[in-house]
Amino acid sequence: MAKWKVFVTRIIPEAGLRLVLENCDAEVWQEETPPPREILIEKIRDCEGVLTLLSDRIDGEVMDSAPKLRVISNYAVGYDNIDVAEATKRGIMVTNTPGVLTETTADLAFALILATARRIVEADKYTRKGLWKTWGPMLFLGRDVHGATLGIIGLGRIGQAVARRAKGFNMRILYYGLRRNEEAERELGAEFRNLHSLLREADIVTIHTPLTEETYHMIGEKELSLMKPTAILVNTARGAVVDQKALYKALKEKRIFGAGLDVYEKEPIDKDDPLIELDNVVLLPHIGSASVETRTRMAIMAAENLIAGLRGEIPQNLVNPEVLER
State how far the alpha carbon of 215 is from the alpha carbons of 170, 193, 203, in Å: 29, 17, 21
Candidate segments 109-117, 154-162, 240-248, 308-316, binder of ligand GLV by CB under 6 A: 154-162
Torsion of CA 122, 123, 128, 132, to 10 degrees: 130
3-state secondary structure of 29: coil
Candidate segments 40-48, 114-122, 151-159, 165-173, binder of ligand GLV by CB under 6 A: 151-159
Candidate segments 108-116, 155-163, 249-257, 276-284, binder of ligand GLV by CB under 6 A: 155-163
Cβ atoms 93, 63 nearer than 8 A? no
3-state secondary structure of 100: coil
Burial of 73 (0-12, 13-18, 19+ CB in 10 A): buried
Q: Please say which residue, 119 or 208, places its beta carbon nearer to ligand GLV.
A: 208
Residues serving a catalytic function are: 238, 267, 286
Candidate segments 73-81, 129-137, 175-183, 305-313, binder of ligand GLV by CB under 6 A: 73-81
User: DSSP state, 262?
Assistant: S
Q: What is the per-residue binding string for ligand GLV in 89-128, x denoting contact by CB under 6 A? A: ---------x--xx--------------------------
Asked whether position 156 contacts ligand GLV by CB under 6 A, the answer is yes
Asked whether position 49 contacts ligand GLV by CB under 6 A, the answer is no
State which of residues 289, 294, 305, 317 lies at the interface with ligand GLV (CB under 6 A): 289
State which of residues 288, 300, 303, 315 lies at the interface with ligand GLV (CB under 6 A): 288
Asked whether position 198 contacts ligand GLV by CB under 6 A, the answer is no
Peptide bond into 268 cis (omega under 30): yes
Ranges of H-type helices in the chain: 14-23, 37-43, 60-64, 84-89, 102-117, 120-128, 157-168, 182-188, 195-201, 221-226, 244-252, 292-310
Q: Please say which residue, 78 or 258, places its beta carbon nearer to ligand GLV.
A: 78
Asked whether position 152 contacts ligand GLV by CB under 6 A, the answer is no
CB of 303 vs ligand GLV, minimal distance in Å: 15
Asked whether position 76 contacts ligand GLV by CB under 6 A, the answer is yes
By CB under 6 A, how many residues form the interface with ligand GLV?
Answer: 14
Helix axes 102-117, 157-168, angle to 10 degrees: 50
Ranges of H-type helices in 189-289: 195-201, 221-226, 244-252
Asked whether position 252 contacts ligand GLV by CB under 6 A, the answer is no
3-state secondary structure of 28: strand
Asked whether position 208 contacts ligand GLV by CB under 6 A, the answer is yes
Who contacts 61 (Cβ-Cβ below 8 Å, separation ≥6)? 41
Q: Please say which residue, 78 or 260, places its beta carbon nearer to ligand GLV.
A: 78
Q: Please say which residue, 157 or 172, places its beta carbon nearer to ligand GLV.
A: 157
Return residues touching ligand GLV (CB under 6 A): 54, 76-78, 98, 101-102, 156-159, 208, 288-289
